[in-house]
Each structure stands twice: as C-alpha cells, then as structure tokens.
Structure 1
Amino acid sequence: MYYVSTRDKSNRRMAAEAIAQGLAADGGLYTPEVFPKLSHNALQSMKDMSYQQRAVYIMNAFLDDYSAAELTAFAKRAYGDGKFDAKEVAPVRQVDQNTYALELWHGPTCAFKDMALQILPHLLTAALKKNAESRTACILTATSGDTGKAALEGFRDVAQTRILVFYPQDGVSQVQKLQMLTQEGENVGVCAVEGNFDDAQTGVKKIFSDPKLRQALDERGYFFSSANSINWGRVLPQIVYYVSAYCDLLRDEKIQPGDTVNVCVPTGNFGDILAGYYAKKMGVPLGRLICASNKNKVLTDFIRTGIYDRDREFYTTISPSMDILISSNLERMLFEFSGCNDAEVRSYMDQLANQGRYEVSDAVKARFADQFSAGFCDDEDTRKTIAKLWSGEHYLADPHTAVAFHVLEEYRKTTQDERPAIVVSTASPFKFSSDVLEAIGVKDPAEGLEAVEQLSEKTGIAPPHSLAALRHRKVRFGQAIAKEQMADQVLGFLK
C-alpha cells in the first residue's frame, strides 16, 4: 500500500517511508492511497481478541512493509507488560442506559495520546532499518498539553532518535507542565514558547519545511520526523480503539451485529475524530461523528458553515488540549472529501496561510454535513457537566471529556437521535484536579500535586501512580523562548 501527500498525489511512499518522514516535504500529510475494508465477519472475529491482537489485525491491513510478527511484538511492548493500568487497555464503561465512555487514559501519561505514542517509536525505529537510514531521527513536536509528555515518554532513550518538545508557556495545566519538565531520558528536550499552541505548531511546521535547516541538520547526521498527529504512525493506532470499542459492545451484548453507534469526540487538532471516520470507512457501523469543541470553536463553525476562519479571539480554557485554532488533521479530511484533489487542498491551505481563512466547495461542505455534527461547550457548562456526571452517574470526567458529554446531550436534544453513543474520554480527571474539584463543589481547591491528593480524598478514587510519583521527580527543564527562536533552539539541541 502506498501513501500519498495531500498536496501532491505524485509524492508516493511506502508506509515505512511515510512514518519516518512524518510530514511530506511539500507540507502535505501522508494518507493511504486506498483504504482496506473489513471482511463481513471481521468484527465478530475480533470480538473475543485482546486489544493487542485487535491492533495487529487492523494495522496489518495498512502496513504492507511490516510483518505480522513485527506488529505483534510492537503491540505487546506498547500495550502489554503492565504499561496500562487496565487489562482491557482501552476499556468501555457504561455511563447510562445508552451512553458509554471509551477511556483512553490508562497508559503511562494518563492521556489518550499514549494509545498511539507507545507504539509509534517501534514503528519508527523499524522504519529506519527498513529504509537503511543511518542518520538520527530528530522528533520535533508541538503540544497543547498531552502529546508532549506522551511523546517524550514513548521516545525516551530510544536508539537513533532525539526528541524536542515545544509547548505554550501558559497554555498547559500545572500537572501537564510538571510531567514534561521532569521527563527522564538522555535524548529528550523540552522548551516553552511564548504564545499559544498554534504559535508552537506553526513554528514546528515552518522548521519542517525549511530546506536550509534540513540541509544543515543532514550535514550533522540528523533528519526531521514528527510525533504529532500529522504523522500517519500516530493516526493509524487511533483507528484501532474505535474498532475495539465496537467489538467490546458486541462481546458484552450491549449491541447486536450491524447496530449503528454514534461517536462524540472532544477534539482540537481533528486527529482523534478523523481516526473515527477512517474506522467507519473500513466498515465499522458508526453513525454520526460528533465533533465537540470548547470555546475555541473553529471546528464547530467550520462543520456548520464550510468556512474555516482562524482569525478570531483565542481563549484559554479549562480544557487546554483543545485550545487550538489551526487543526492540522482537517487537511486529511479535506483530501478525502474533495475526491483526493490535491490541487484543491493546496488551494485551501495556501488561503489559510496567506489570508487566515478558506471556504470549501459546496460538494465538500455537503460531505461534511453527511458525516459530521458539531457543537461546543464553554467553561461554565463544562463544570456543570462534570458535576452532573459525578452526582448523577458517579462518573468522574476530566474537562475535555465533559465537553463531549455536554455536546452529545445537546445533539440528542436537537435531533432526537437516541442511538447508543460512545463518548471518547481523552484524559484522566486527575490531570486537571483543580478544575474538577471546583466543578464538584470544592471552594478554593488546591493546585498542582496537592490537588491530585485532594481530589482522591474527596472522591475515594486512587490517582494514577504516574501522577502521584511526580512529587519525587526532579525538574530538568525550564527554558522559555520567543516563537522566532525555535529554529535556533533546534540547532542548539542537535549540536
């Protein structure tokens, strides 16, 4: 199977090349040239499999240049050996009669990014060998909170890699920041950027597309790769958990074969919900794909109007991983819905870069309307939803997951669509303990690690071990730079 750039279909690569490069040299995102379809009995066959087995089953269909034996070994290392605190890896919890939470935060960094970033390093290092690559991969990542720590943990001391993470100085929670600043490993680096996530992400993209910088690093024995969701090696593992969730519902007889299930996803960069669409395209009976935004509702407005406009006020919210105005993975969806028209996608991306906005064709807009619904939730409603879930269902949700629960409730009110629905739960509530405490009625909650302990005492729920252990970790990083200094920071990191 070949992968093509969303901006130039003639740029074709095998999976190992696409994963190693991360971002195409033309700025596009590698996407499968064709999508495999599940056989008519595939979901039944996977129903009683472990998560690791399901991962191999799905990923094998996309990775012609990797063997099933390799993928089996990678899945075991990524999702086995006690890496996750739930045997199911991505358990599906029933919240009410027809609503389920797909919990993706039982991994080492307590966020859904672990689902992909525990296996990506294995895919990447194997790709380097397959491509006979002698240079060291420099993993550059911009994070709005969770990707950074998950990438750092995944690539920590991985041979033939170095990883540098940029995060917005005031745009992540205290716990998220502490997770990154205490990261262990000889090949890791962390740096704050003055500005918001979009500043950091735009800076990374600019570095990737700078030929002079690439040449300078090539002479030093390095090349750029990415652990952001622009890398196909990040998106592919995310498809797995949608398939897995449907199989779990079948296994537990919550649904019958062929039943349609809606999915509501809190999303900022669009990668998580994109993976849901790809699972549906493969043949998983998913219904509406409901895109849930916080007050930075650029995706909600786009899905409703067909106009993408990044020139708007940026809000810092209690769901910081969604504080994004430039949703990179939307480009893959535009490629799909334009009929793989690379020229059309290039035009949209040029307009976004030069004018800050674009409007899609009527055909593309209609395809979004056919597949997606969208809504948003401000901080006040996020807090109310956390309180309602805790008092009514005894379910403790983080602010990102609460956004999705609220949007799902509003969707059901306006459409009367009462089909079973999966809410994608993206982070442990303990990563945002202060905000969760305030939402459930604690006045003047503690901050940082003290809030983690306070939330545990209040709810009777033990915090994840990895968060509790932060108290004993040494802070290793603390530098903050202007966005214009990011390229110099990279050169300094790769001396």
Structure 2
Amino acid sequence: MANMATYHSTRSKAPALTSKEAIRRGIAPDGGLYVSDALGDATVDLENLADKDYFELAREVLGALLPDYTADEIAACVTEAYEGTFASDELTPVVPLSCAPNADNVPAYVLELWHGPTSAFKDVALQMLPRLMARTADTDTDCTATADTGATAEADTASASSPAPAEKIMIVTATSGDTGKAALAGFADAPGCGITVFYPEGKVSRVQELQMSTQEGGNVSVCGVRGNFDDAQSAVKRIFADRELAERLAAQGVRLSSANSINVGRLVPQVVYYFAAYAQLLRAGSIEPGDAVEFCVPTGNFGDILAGYYAKRLGLPVAKLVVASDKNNVLYDFLTTGTYDRARPFFTTTSPSMDILISSNLERMLYYLSDGDCELVSQLMDQLAQGSYEVPAELLAKIQQVFGCGWADEDQVAAAIKSCWEANGYLIDPHTACGYHVLADQPATPGAKARVLLSTASPYKFPRAVASALGLFCPPSDFACMDVLAKATDTTAPEQLATLQGKPVLHTDVVDVDGMSAYVENAARAL
C-alpha cells in the first residue's frame, strides 16, 4: 500500500491535503478538482479477485485511494453504506445479453448499477459519501448519515473518529436528475449536516422530480432553477468560490461541501464496481485473469467513466473506456476533434441526466493524461469559461488511446430500447440505450474479450420514454405508464418508485440562477 496520499487542485500543486480534507472541502478554492499524484502507486491484486465479494473489493479499493482513512474506518463505512441498502446481493450485478449488439459477436453484458434506494447508479457513491464525510474527524463535525432505507451509522462504528468541533457542513449540489435524490437519501437528517439540491425546472423526468420534491428530512432543501443543468452547476461552482459568502457562513459555523462527482469522496466509490464487474465475469468463466474488457459508459459529467480510468490505473485490464452520449454530444465532439466547445445548442432529451454541456470531471482526466500539467489545465479551464478550448495534438492522441466515443439521437435511443427488448427480452432506460446503440454501432476494441455496458438507471425512472419506444399506449400519468410497462413486459417497478405517487410534495421552491446563492445562505441559517 502507498504512503498516505496528498491531494491538491488540478490547477495548482499547493496546498497539499489529505483525502479527508479534500472530501471535506469538496472543491478547491481556485475552482479546480482534487486529485492525487499517488493514483496507481497502490494497485489491486487480480489473482484472487474472483474470490472477493463487493464488500471486500470496496474495502481494498477505497483503502488504496483514501489511505489516510484507517482500515477500521473504511470497513465501517462500507458496512454502513451497503449492508441491507441494495436489492441485489451482488449490489451491482452483471447480466449477460443473449444476443450481442454487434455482429463481431464479442460477448456483451450489462452492469446494473440501479439496485440501490433511489434506483440510480449514484446510490453506490452517495450511500458512501456521508459515511466518509462523517469521519473527517480531526477538524470536522460528525455528520453520520441515516439513509432513506433506514440504514443507520451506529455511533460505535465511528470508532476511529475523534471528537468533532461544532462546525456544520452544508452540502450544495446541482443535479441533472439522479444525483439530487441519491444525495438527499444519503444526507437526510444527518447530524451536523444540511443539504441543498438544485435541479433544472422542467428538465428532469416527472419521477425524478417527485423523488426530490417528496424528500423528508429536517435538514433538506430542494429547489428548482429556471435554466438548464449547466446554468445550475456553474452557479454552484461560483457559490463555492464566493469568499465573502464563505466568511459569512463561517461566522455561523457552517462550511460548504459538495455531493457532485467533483467531490473525490463521491468519485472513488464508483471505482469499485468496475472491479466487481470483472470479478463476476471471472466467476462466471466468461473471461480469464488478465483478459481485457471494454466498458461502455453513458455519461454527461464524465464522473462515471473517469472512475473506470481510476480502475485502469489501479491495475484493472481495461481494453477501452467508451463514452456514450445523447444528442448533447459535446464529449463526442471533444474526443474526436480535441476541441471542447460549450457554445452550442442545448437539447432536452429523454436521457436528462446526460443533458450536460460542461463535463466537470473531464478536468481530472486532462490533469492525469497531461502528466500533471496544472498550468495547462488552468489555461484550458480559463479558455472554457470564455466558451471553448483545444488540447494539444499529442494530448488528444493519448486521450484517444484510452477513451472511445459514440452518441445516439432521440430516434436511435428509442430504437435501441426496442431492439434490446426484442433481441434479449431485456428492458433498458434511455441513458443505457445510448450505450446500447454505441455498442451496436461500433466493433469491439481489438483484444477485448468482453464488452460491459454500464446501466445507470432503472427503466422505471423513465416509464413514458421506455413505453413509447416499445410502441405501448402511454396514459397521461407516469405512474399509469409504469403499470402499462409492467404488464407488457412482465417486469416489476422498484417499490420506491411505484409508491412515489402517494407521497406529499414537500418542496416547491423555484429560483432564478442569480437567486441560488441567497437560497443557500438562507438554508444554512436553519442548520
């Protein structure tokens, strides 16, 4: 295991922080994201990978990436986050597709990441983040979380935590649909913590909106924003960079932090399921140790696929990481041309969690593949603030060796949902459908022995889009659509989604983008 890692901004090597401090702060004061130059110094042994369950893998991976947490702290976090909170014993099960999407016949599999309490992949990380946050103990207050599922972080499991001062944490996050509910589920009623979630009004699915607007908890604030996700995310970053606001909040004993994947504590738990997928393929006899696997990842903010890059740096045999985009294909254009241009039309699609034009985690990738060139990263981010940037040709070539890409328009998304169902009897949501289309459209990476498509959400989070793609009649209510979909496909909606209809709406606030800062400050006063 490596020595205790230090984290620093993607835009500056100083100051150096422990992972606990980086998780506590969320985002660097200069606007950069926290990274560790020790990434890859510690690797995960593949020899006995097939013998390890998800809990063992999580302890090993998190221990490698967060070495200033003790083994006891990591073990307690893993138990609290995952014991009894997921519907599958595997947590993130791998399901084979009976018919490979592409004619090259490389076996294809789906990694189901949506068996947690909010039916989205964000649960894997956001059941973990509050537990990690709770153990930023030497300078921070205890904010041990109680999740929606009733899984409580018992006081005696925080064994390595020292007594904490009175400073409270206000989690502030912008969501394109799934992060918000998953973060709310993790942080609701967490002692010493509050959470404020902003979502783009009218640009998330009805189910996603209800998941957030019905959230219970005395420390919870949920607010729509008149704008799109990029507007909300950019405003949140400005809130974190507002020193006068930080001083006012500090006077009240409040510090801001983030639950988006800009927070390294949100990112690193996602690395685990890449190893878990590989272990399941080994146990099934689908691959041999050392065989390369291609991963296709629907992504907008680049965090889910960046976790795959971290897994690769930790020793996982990754043939390629393939970005699957929807009609907002800014990542596709960047990965094919080297130019990132945010000044482009924004489309509201059936895959709202990917309706993003500014992919925050791309900054971490640029840092690592430029060999830690903070000056270059800072220059590129300054240029992006003006509209666009272009990476040097040699850097683009390095990026393209690791990452592939593809995208699907709305017609192709619907066709992919229908094709996957007809060929495999397997139901997918619109985000996963973007990836299915890319798998069908492109041959496997040479040398890949298997292709794994990350499925990021239950199809029942988007019942209207899925039912419509299958040619089913769609009633006005999304919940009626769930019933139609269930009967037509002989599948079952997750209980936490099916029962949303009867829950009272508790949050109806809506603000303009320029009102978000004041909203956060008001929410902080209530802590």
Note if contact 1:44-1:247 (Cα within 8 Å) is conserved in structure 2: no
In 2, Cα distance between the equivalents of 1:399 and 1:374?
17
What count of residue pairs does the alignment treat as equivalent? 491
Contact 2:42 2:64 in 1 (8 A): no
Cα distance in 1 for residues equivalent to 2:256 and 2:165: 12
SS in 2 for 1:442: coil
Choose which of 191, 195, 200 in structure 2 pairs with 1:168. Answer: 200
Q: 1:440 — aligned with what?
A: 470
1:340 aligns with 2:372: yes
Paired residue for 1:373, among 401, 404, 407?
404
Q: Which of 441, 446, 458 matches 1:428?
A: 458
The offset of 1:143, in angstroms, is 0.1
Task: Give the equivalent residue in structure 1 for 2:40.
Answer: 36
Deviation at 1:33, TM superposition (A): 1.8
Contact 1:203 1:483 in 2 (8 A): yes
The correspondence of residues 441-460 of structure 1 with structure 2, limited to 5 A, is 441-460=471-490
Report the CA distance between 1:28 and its aligned residue: 0.7
The answer to whether structure 1 residue 135 and structure 2 residue 144 are counterparts is no
What residue number does 1:48 align with? 51
Aligned to 2:78: 75
- Following superposition, the deviation at residue 129 of structure 1 comes to 4.5
DSSP 3-state at the match of 2:223: strand
Cα RMSD (Å) of the superposition? 1.4
Counterpart of 1:385 in structure 2 is 416
TM-score, normalised by the number of residues in structure 1: 0.97
Within 1, Cα distance between the matches of 2:248 and 2:300? Answer: 33
2:127 aligned partner: 118
Once the two structures are TM-superposed, the CA of residue 416 in structure 1 deviates from its matched residue by 7.3
Whole-Å separation in 1 of the counterparts to 2:42 and 2:32: 27
Any stretches of 5+ residues in structure 2 without a counterpart? Answer: 101-106, 141-163
Structure 1: how far apart are the matches of 2:296 and 2:67?
Answer: 31
SS in 1 for 2:462: helix
Partners in 2 of 1:492 and 1:35 — Cα distance? 39
Q: How far has the Cα of 1:226 moved from its partner?
A: 0.3
Please say if 1:155 is aligned against 2:210: no
User: How much does 1:138 deviate?
Assistant: 0.5
Determine helix, strand or coil for the equivalent of 1:145. coil
**2:184–2:220 contact (8 Å) kept in structure 1:** yes
Q: Which residue of 1 aligns with 2:151?
A: none
Cross-structure match for 1:90: 92
Deviations 1:183-227 (A, max 9, x none): 011111000000100000001000000000000111111011000
Q: 1:127-156: per-residue Cα shift (whole Å, max 9, x none)?
A: 144545531100000000000000000001
> In the TM superposition, what are the counterparts of 1:311-330 in structure 2 within 5 Å?
311-330=343-362
1:182 equivalent in structure 2: 214
* Deviating more after overlay: 43-52 vs 389-398: 43-52
After superposition, give the CA deviation of every residue in 1:69-120 in whole Å (9 maximum; x if it has no partner).
1111111111112x11111000000013500000000000000000100010
CA distance in 2, matches of 1:188, 1:180: 10
Q: Is the 8 A contact 2:7 2:19 kept in 1?
A: yes
Aligned to 1:463: 493
Alpha-carbon distance, 1:257 to partner: 0.9
Deviation at 1:453, TM superposition (A): 2.0
Deviation above 6 Å: which 4+ runs of structure 1?
A: 415-418
Q: Secondary structure at the match of 1:110?
A: coil
Shift of 1:260: 0.6
Q: What one-letter code is carried by the residue in structure 2 that aligns with 1:343?
A: E
SS in 2 for 1:190: strand
Aligned to 1:363: 394
Deviation at 1:419, TM superposition (A): 3.8
For residues 78 and 484 of structure 1, the distance between their equivalents in structure 2, rounded to whole angstroms, comes to 35
Deviation at 1:67, TM superposition (A): 1.3
Tell me, in whole angstroms, the C-alpha distance in 1 between the residues paired with 2:206 and 2:354. Answer: 16
The whole-number CA distance in structure 2 between the counterparts of 1:388 and 1:37 is 43
Secondary structure, in 3 states, of the residue corresponding to 1:47?
A: helix
CA contact (8 A) 2:295 2:452 kept: yes
Alpha-carbon distance in structure 1 between the residues aligned to 2:54 and 2:475 = 37
Deviation string 1:314-348 (CA, Å, 9 cap, x unpaired) is 00000000000000000000101111011110000
**How much does 1:46 deviate?**
2.9
Q: Deviations over 1:236-266 (max 9, x none)?
A: 0011000111111111110011111101000
Distance across 1 between alignment mates of 2:476 and 2:422: 21
Question: Which residue of structure 1 aligns with residue 524 of structure 2?
Answer: 494
Task: State the 1:440 CA deviation.
Answer: 0.8
CA offsets, 1:337-373, max 9 Å, x none? 11101111000000111x2100011221111111111
Question: When you count helix as a share of all residues, which structure comes out higher?
Answer: 1
- Equivalent of 1:406, from 431, 437, 442? 437
